[in-house]
Amino acid sequence: MTTTKYNYLFGLIAFVVMIVVNFALWRLFFAPSNGVFKLFTPMYGLSLAAFYFYTVILVADIFGWKNETRNIVKGIAPLITSIVVFYVIYYVFFWNILGQFGITYFSPQAQIATGGTGLEIWNARENSSLAILFVATALIWVSMIWNTGFGNAPWDGMKQTVVGFSKFFATAFIGIIFYAIFFHPNITALFQPKQVFAGVLPWWDGIAMTASSFYHLGWMFAGLFILMFLNDCMDGFPFNLFRSDEKSGSWIGAIVALVIAVGGGFIFMYITEAIMSYYWYEPFTGGNYTDDPRFRHVHTAEIAAFFMLALMIVKVFFNNVFQPANKWLAAIVRLIVVSGAGMLIYYFYYSETLGPKFVDRVPGIGNIDDTSLCWTLMSMTMILVYDKFFNAFPIRK
């Protein structure tokens, strides 16, 4: 159990401030109707939120640049670094290097230059944004499994810069392989005609009843929630059983983390989609809105993300609420609290009054073009920045 002392009053105040800042940032950057920049199109905004979330993980958890002091000024440098790295990777690397000289679909401008069917700026940017979203998902997924299972292994004891670059290249290499298998076929199938020599036809079509990689988005996000719960609400159990210290890991721990992320993710998706089928009946190929299998899969990711956001709120602002000596009792209580908070966030977003008013979304449910993942990932990133770069000041004593 953590021995860090918390000021719960400051935690509540910080949480309220986070809500106000969240509302302001959403209206500034993403709100599709009443916003300033209106980046929620939706895939462009979603890819921006997802990739910046990965960038914060890269700076804080891969390169280990965290602020663990009460000096909030020390958080400015890693914050600025994360923004610069995000901009360079997203716009310089994807749009103007890889997209222009390697893989066309990563750059809207490169797609338009081909003169292909339907490739005007909006569609082209949505295509490239979807691809970048999937790359970010693969990188986040692999990075969290690596940090959970391996920690800093096998580079324990080396300089942090060596550890950081080594972990980055290792996770990026594996992440690109996962991207190529689970996501790349979806992107190559978007174009007319399908780019069958650049990527195989989506091999999961018969299983998922859709060619969309939202199927993989569903079980991957679900698996990430389970990993986060075990790490943050169960003090790293069972992965700590395979660690020699806090930062060291092992192959066994990595394999356990991978199995839990995959197996737990599919179990979570099966349960949530069974509940959806109970309320909305069975999905079918060609169905619209809630009948669309593609929506069921992305909705699983949305639900998992709501739970992830709830978990981060409970952990960062309220110190996991309950600190008993028995870790199993703590896990049960925290699971109830996190699940309840996650469902409250769900009902807030999808309510017919609060959601449209505060998040500027279209009323109703089942529209693929109105995914909650953008707002949820933006909210999670805010908390991650507050936690990693500013040490949740002034909550922690």
Higher pLDDT, 198 or 5: 198
Higher pLDDT, 272 or 369: 272
Residue 306 has a pLDDT of 98
Average pLDDT, the chain: 94
Residue 323 has a pLDDT of 83
Q: What angle do CA 333, 56, 126 make, to 5 degrees?
A: 105
- Exposed/middle/buried for 34, CB within 10 Å: 0-12, 13-18, 19+? exposed
Question: Which residues, listed in sequence order, are joined to residue 151 by a DSSP beta bridge?
Answer: 248
Of the pLDDT bands very low, low, confident and very high (cuts 50, 70, 90), residue 246 is low
Task: Give the span between the Cα atoms of 361 and 345, in whole angstroms.
Answer: 14
**Residue 146: how many CB atoms within 10 A of its CB?**
23
Task: Give the span between the Cα atoms of 47 and 31, in whole angstroms.
Answer: 15
Contacts (Cβ under 8 Å, ≥6 apart) of 279: none
Q: What angle do CA 328, 329, 331 make, to 5 degrees?
A: 60
Q: Give the dihedral of Cα atoms 193, 198, 201, 202; nearest 10 deg.
A: -120
Q: What does the pLDDT average to over 355-370?
A: 86
Of the pLDDT bands very low, low, confident and very high (cuts 50, 70, 90), residue 18 is very high
Nearest CA-CA partner of 168 in 198, 147, 192, 197: 147
Of the pLDDT bands very low, low, confident and very high (cuts 50, 70, 90), residue 3 is low
Instruction: Inform me whether the pLDDT recorded for 95 exceeds 80.
Output: yes
Q: What does the pLDDT average to over 298-316?
A: 98
Contacts (Cβ under 8 Å, ≥6 apart) of 90: 47, 48, 51, 132
What tens digit of pLDDT does each residue of 33-71 get? 889 999 999 999 999 999 999 999 999 999 999 999 999
Q: What does the pLDDT average to over 280-308?
A: 95
Q: Give per-residue burial for 284-322: e unless 16+ CB within 10 Å, then b.
A: eeebeebbbbbbbbbbbbbbbbbbbbbbbbbbbbbbbbb
Instruction: Inform me whether the pLDDT recorded for 1 exceeds 50.
Output: no
Contacts (Cβ under 8 Å, ≥6 apart) of 154: none
